[in-house]
């Protein structure tokens, strides 16, 4: 008599060794050790003969939704009552509360421009320097807002159009809805969307405005001094230079552009001047150049949110010959 059947049946090693071929050994095994033989048969059935439960009607996007809602709660500082949103066809009043609730503890800063009754209600959600946040809009769209950014959400006047205004940088994951256009309005362009993932960077003090399409399709129109609109394919990065009014599309690894949501900022060949602007937003510091030609040095690499700014400059110093001086909230960069 060998070990107990239970021990075998639930032993990982025994179970993993059972294959479709194992049945051939059964008769021989049965003579030697009938417990093992029975464990073999039962394992075989459990492993290979289980009926699958029929495919689910719950779509992956519904779980995405749950994840983002839960993340919103997870990111709160102080404990608040758990709210559960069962039904997303909520009324305007309820949706104000939803965004309101989310924004209160995430951003610490929100403004309501007008009363609840007006048709043109706008809600502004803002992050300050050093602060990021994630939220789900009442229409199910997921938005991650980067440092020092502002998003104005227009409570929809019509079901066919949902508009948001953006100053700064945000990543959008728009719920698919063929009957409705989602529009991101920025100073130098509009982005029109059906259902897709994309990143918009439109800071007022940046020289360039850009949109990177991760998935789906978007149209860019209302470009400053340009009548023609542009349609992007996944992996396209559209940039607009505010000074010379040139715009261009380059191919890029789109998945990298949304890494900032998880705390990694990836830069592909940007100038030190542009990098400094991002760092100012991240670390709430002022960065000044003693020699302005340094602003044109090129840097590629990642910056991690939880990294101290000194550590980051140590990395930059490896490829660019600079000296760093820090006093209080000011950082001076000079030639080595």
Partner 1 sequence: MDKNLDSEIWRRFKQGDKKAFSYIFDTYHMQMFEYGHRFTFDESFIKDCIQDVFFELASKKDKLSTTDNILFYLLKSLRIRIFTNLRKNKNVSADFNDDLLADFRLEYTTEVDSEEKELRLDQLAQALNQLPPRQKETIFLKFYKNLSNSEVAELMGVNYQSVGNAIQKAINKLRDIIDSDQDSIVLFLRMHIR
For partner 1, the binding residues (CB under 8 A) are 5-6, 9-10, 12, 15, 23, 26, 38, 41-42, 44-46, 49-51, 53, 56-58, 62-63, 66-67, 69-71, 73-76, 79-80, 82-84, 86, 262-263
Q: Minimal distance in Å, beta carbon 40 to partner 1?
A: 10
φ, ψ dihedrals at 237, nearest 5°: -120, 120
- φ, ψ (nearest 5 deg) of residue 257: -75, -15
By beta-carbon proximity to partner 1, the closer residue of 303 and 333 is 303
Query: Could you please report the per-residue DSSP string of 173-221?
Result: EPPP-TT-EEEEE-SS-EEEESS-EEEEEE-TTSSEEEEEEEES-EEEE
Instruction: Specify the 3-state DSSP secondary structure of 104.
Output: helix
Nearer to partner 1, 46 or 308 (CB): 46
In whole angstroms, give the CA distance from residue 189 to residue 242: 11
CB of 145 to partner 1, least distance (A): 15
**Two tokens, residue 91:** 């009324």
Q: Are 264 and 243 in contact (CB under 8 A)?
A: no
Q: Reduced to 3 states, what is the DSSP secondary structure of residue 32?
A: helix
Residue 47 vs 150, nearer CB to partner 1: 47
Residue 262 vs 327, nearer CB to partner 1: 262
Which CB, 30 or 222, lies closer to partner 1? 30
Neighbours of 283 (CB within 10 A): 20
CB 106 within 8 A of CB 95: no
CB of 36 to partner 1, least distance (A): 12
Q: Which of 245, 182, 253 is nearest to 212 (CA)?
A: 253
User: Order of strands, edge to edge, in the sheet holding 330-335?
Assistant: 286-289, 330-335, 322-327
Q: Is the dihedral of CA 149, 246, 270, 297 positive or negative?
A: negative
Helix (H) or strand (E) holding 310: helix 309-319
Please report how close the Cβ of residue 2 comes to partner 1 at its closest, in angstroms: 14
- What is the smallest separation between the CB atom of 84 and partner 1, expressed in angstroms? 6
CB of 156 to partner 1, least distance (A): 25
User: Minimum distance between the CB of residue 34 and partner 1, rounded to whole angstroms?
Assistant: 8
User: How are beta strands 161-173 and 181-185 bridged, if at all?
Assistant: parallel
Distance between CA atoms of residues 283 and 214, nearest Å: 27
For residue 265, the minimal CB distance to partner 1 (Å) is 15
Nearer to partner 1, 66 or 160 (CB): 66
| Residue 75 C-beta: closest distance to partner 1, Å | 7
In the complex with partner 1, the residue whose CB is nearer, 5 or 90, is 5
The tokens for 127 are: 């992050």
Comparison of 84 and 327: residue with beta carbon closer to partner 1 = 84
Query: Which tokens go with 256?
Result: 């990298």
Using the minimum distance from each CB to partner 1, give the nearer residue, 80 or 114: 80
């Amino acid at each position: 008599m060998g070990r107990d059947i239970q021990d075998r049946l639930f032993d990982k090693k025994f179970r993993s060794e059972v294959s479709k071929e194992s049945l051939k050994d059964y008769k021989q095994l049965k003579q030697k050790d009938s417990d093992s033989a029975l464990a073999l048969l039962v394992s075989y059935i459990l492993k290979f003969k289980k009926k699958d439960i029929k495919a689910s009607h719950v779509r992956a996007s519904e779980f995405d939704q749950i994840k983002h809602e839960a993340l919103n709660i997870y990111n709160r500082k102080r404990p608040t009552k758990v709210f559960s949103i069962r039904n997303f066809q909520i009324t305007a009043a309820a949706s104000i509360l939803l965004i309101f609730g989310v924004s209160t503890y995430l951003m610490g800063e929100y403004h309501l421009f007008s009363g609840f009754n007006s048709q043109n209600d706008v809600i502004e959600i803002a992050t300050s320097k050093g602060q990021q946040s994630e939220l789900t809009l009442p229409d199910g769209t997921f938005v991650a807002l980067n440092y020092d950014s502002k998003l104005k959400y227009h409570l929809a006047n019509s079901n066919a159009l949902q508009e948001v205004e953006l100053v700064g940088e945000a990543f959008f994951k728009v719920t698919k809805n063929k009957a409705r256009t989602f529009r991101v309005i920025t100073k130098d362009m509009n982005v029109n969307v059906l259902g897709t993932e994309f990143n918009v960077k439109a800071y007022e003090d940046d020289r360039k405005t850009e949109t990177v399409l991760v998935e789906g399709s978007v149209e860019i129109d209302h470009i400053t001094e340009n009548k023609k609109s542009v349609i992007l394919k996944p992996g396209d990065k559209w940039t607009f230079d505010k000074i010379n009014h040139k715009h261009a599309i380059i191919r890029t690894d789109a998945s990298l552009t949304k890494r900032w949501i998880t705390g990694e900022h990836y830069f592909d060949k940007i100038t030190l001047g542009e990098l400094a602007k991002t760092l100012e937003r991240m670390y709430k510091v002022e960065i000044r150049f003693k020699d302005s030609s340094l602003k044109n040095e090129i840097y590629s690499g990642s910056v991690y949110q939880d990294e101290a700014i000194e550590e980051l400059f140590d990395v930059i110093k490896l490829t660019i010959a600079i000296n760093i001086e820090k006093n209080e909230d000011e950082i001076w960069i000079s030639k080595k």
